[in-house]
Structure 1
């Protein structure tokens, strides 16, 4: 590993460590010292690369939002026509809800910050716009907005329910929204 400010991966390690720490301890458990320790970097690297803890959190959550948008894109880009797009949305709900608990935890931590702080609300709004834009490649704007909310809700319900609903229920919900 390179040392000093010449370490090109240091900033990325800090952001990855921040997300890992949020998963383990929540946003409330994050501090410069804990992030630096987790990233195995000197504490001074935190202020060298970031203006403060909010800057670290915003950039880490931006990185996370980019990851989720890439998952949306992966599923939706393969769809050809409305029927395949509906099936892609169904696949997306199940991929997200059956996927890493890490993504669910990070989503909820970001939503909680966004509910309290406008700068994080702006980040979530950008994320939603990007997700809806991908959906709008297959559906009109109103349907895309409804599907985006359905994806969020069904993903959360499936991930947290002791007996998650089956794929057919997701397919039916998507069909009801896209049939209008």
Structure 2
């Protein structure tokens, strides 16, 4: 039964290699051959594990969105009241914008695909829905939706700015949007 375990590890290596290549070279330059070489697997493994490049890319981006939702969960699982949740959201914005350039590039690549292709749009909708679930633990649904968009915007602006705004401005923006929308406190 080691084969199934080996296959799942190989599949995971292929997905991670695809994400790494997309982050480094852009979606347009990714190919089965490059992904197989990066993952250290035979080219035939690509068709064994995935029906085609679109299948592979959708699964890779689903894996990436799971990662981002886990980051949301790590930051938003603990707060006990709205004030602590606001602080946690500010921490999240700064963690995302100061963190991995790989994640920033992958998010933008996914958004570009979603703007053009329905299957990726569904993937981003599911990602946003899952992110809002965490926000709705602390804020009403409309506020959570607004806050989710604010997180995306503030993260992108901070990540791309030569002089990113500080935590105080992030917290002020979060407080303005959430002032009337807390679930508690």
TM-score calculated relative to the size of structure 2 = 0.94
**Cα distance in 1 between the residues matched to 2:97 and 2:5:** 39
Partner of 1:7: 6
Post-superposition Cα deviations, 1:36-83, rounded to whole Å, max 9, x if no partner, equal: 111111111000000000000000000000000000000000100100
Superposed counterparts of 1:21-32, under 5 Å: 21-32=21-32
Superposed counterparts of 1:43-122, under 5 Å: 43-122=43-122
Partner of 2:39: 39
Q: Which runs of 5+ in 1 are unaligned?
A: none
Partner of 1:149: 149
Partner of 2:136: 136
- The Cα of 1:5 is off from its aligned counterpart by 7.8
How many residue pairs match? The answer is 178
Partner of 2:175: 175
**Cα distance in 2 between the residues matched to 1:5 and 1:85:** 41
Q: Which runs of 5+ in 2 are unaligned?
A: 181-185
Post-superposition Cα deviations, 1:73-116, rounded to whole Å, max 9, x if no partner, equal: 00000100100001110000000000010100000000000000
- Counterpart secondary structure, 1:7: helix
Structure 1 segments of 4+ aligned residues over 3 angstroms from their partners: none
- Counterpart secondary structure, 2:157: helix
Partner of 1:158: 158
